[in-house]
């Protein structure tokens, strides 16, 4: 789905642990760079290629992958892409880097609810999932930090948004006034929501409010969520209301 000139949301079907859904990686490009924000699961390569074909951007031109955070549906597809293309740079926040690189166990695997769900799967499926986690790690080439402005595609600002994971980041693409929020925000019944607010304690709530306040300093037309797609109904006002 085209958002503005040279920025598209890719619609990628996802199936994991018996649940089917759609995920929405973002593609941003100019004459010098083609950037993919989040890369889906392992074996999503064909769908990513198809979606890029539709957008009219050659897959071979990807030179940068920015990762919003460590979760498998965001990093799992990177190795397939890196295997086919040389000289791809992977960018992520320092607080998620050790998990993405496999030096620390991905946080979901320490979550007992999540592990209960995995352990309840039929044996073959269970081993497949664990194997997928095992093989998802990928080298982070560039560490991003809060407030940094990347000189890609007219400027992309990095906003550190800890909560969903310690090193979760959102990205603001200045030319299209698009805020790519990964899993920090989502859409529920056509409304913009903060992911998992019910589970937040007082301290975490304050952290979330702090980064929401950074969002309202920006002029946001499009909010691109990874699991809900595009939200563009009076976004600045809706973000204020979340606070
Ligand atoms: Zn996710």
| pTM given for the model | 0.94
Least reliable range by pLDDT among 43-57, 99-113, 211-225? 99-113
Ligand 1 centroid from CA 96, angstroms:
14
- At residue 43, the pLDDT reads 87
- State the average pLDDT over residues 200-217: 93
> What is the domain count for the chain?
1
Does residue 114 have a pLDDT over 90? no
Ligand 1 centroid from CA 54, angstroms:
23
Q: How far apart are CA 209 and CA 221, in angstroms?
A: 20
Ligand 1 centroid from CA 194, angstroms:
13
Does residue 34 have a pLDDT over 80? yes
Q: Is 147 helix (H, G, I), strand (E, B) or coil?
A: coil
Ligand 1 centroid from CA 123, angstroms:
24
pLDDT band at 29, cuts 50/70/90? very high
> In terms of residues, how long is the chain?
243
Q: How far apart are CA 243 and CA 241, in angstroms?
A: 5
Does residue 198 have a pLDDT over 80? no
Cβ contacts of 234 within 8 Å, gap of 6 or more: none
90: exposed, middle or buried (Cβ count in 10 Å: 0-12, 13-18, 19+): buried
Ligand 1 centroid from CA 225, angstroms:
9
- State the average pLDDT over residues 133-139: 91
Does residue 8 have a pLDDT over 90? yes
Ligand 1 centroid from CA 122, angstroms:
23
Ligand 1 centroid from CA 73, angstroms:
5
Parent domain of 131: 2-242
**How much is the mean pLDDT over the chain?**
94
- State the average pLDDT over residues 118-131: 90
Ligand 1 centroid from CA 24, angstroms:
10
Ligand 1 centroid from CA 211, angstroms:
19
List the CATH number of the domain containing 207. Answer: 3.60.15.10
- At residue 134, the pLDDT reads 87
Quick: pLDDT tens for 151-194. 999 999 999 999 989 999 999 999 999 999 999 999 999 999 99
Ligand 1 centroid from CA 186, angstroms:
10
- State the average pLDDT over residues 73-82: 96
How many Cβ atoms are within 10 Å of 51's Cβ, its own excluded?
A: 22
């Amino acid at each position: 789905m085209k958002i503005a000139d040279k920025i598209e949301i890719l619609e990628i079907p996802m199936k994991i642990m018996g649940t089917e859904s759609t995920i929405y990686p973002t593609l941003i490009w100019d004459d010098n760079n083609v950037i993919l924000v989040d890369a889906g699961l392992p074996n999503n390569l064909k769908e990513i290629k198809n979606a890029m074909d539709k957008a009219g951007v050659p897959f071979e031109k990807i030179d940068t992958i920015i990762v919003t955070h460590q979760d498998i549906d965001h990093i799992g597809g990177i190795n397939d892409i890196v295997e086919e293309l040389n000289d791809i740079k992977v960018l992520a926040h320092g607080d998620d880097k050790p998990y993405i690189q496999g030096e620390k166990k991905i946080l979901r695997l320490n979550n007992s609810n999540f592990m209960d769900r995995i352990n309840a799967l039929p044996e073959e499926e269970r081993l497949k999932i664990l194997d997928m986690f095992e093989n998802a790690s990928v080298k982070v080439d560039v560490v991003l930090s809060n407030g940094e402005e990347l000189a890609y595609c007219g400027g992309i600002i990095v906003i550190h948004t800890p909560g969903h994971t310690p090193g979760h980041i959102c990205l603001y693409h200045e030319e299209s006034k698009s805020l790519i929020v990964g899993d920090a925000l989502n859409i529920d019944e056509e409304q913009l929501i903060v992911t998992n607010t019910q589970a937040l304690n007082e301290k975490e709530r304050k952290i979330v409010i702090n980064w929401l306040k950074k969002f309202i300093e920006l002029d946001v037309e499009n909010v691109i969520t990874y699991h809900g797609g595009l939200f563009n109904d009076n976004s600045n006002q809706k973000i204020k209301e979340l606070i």
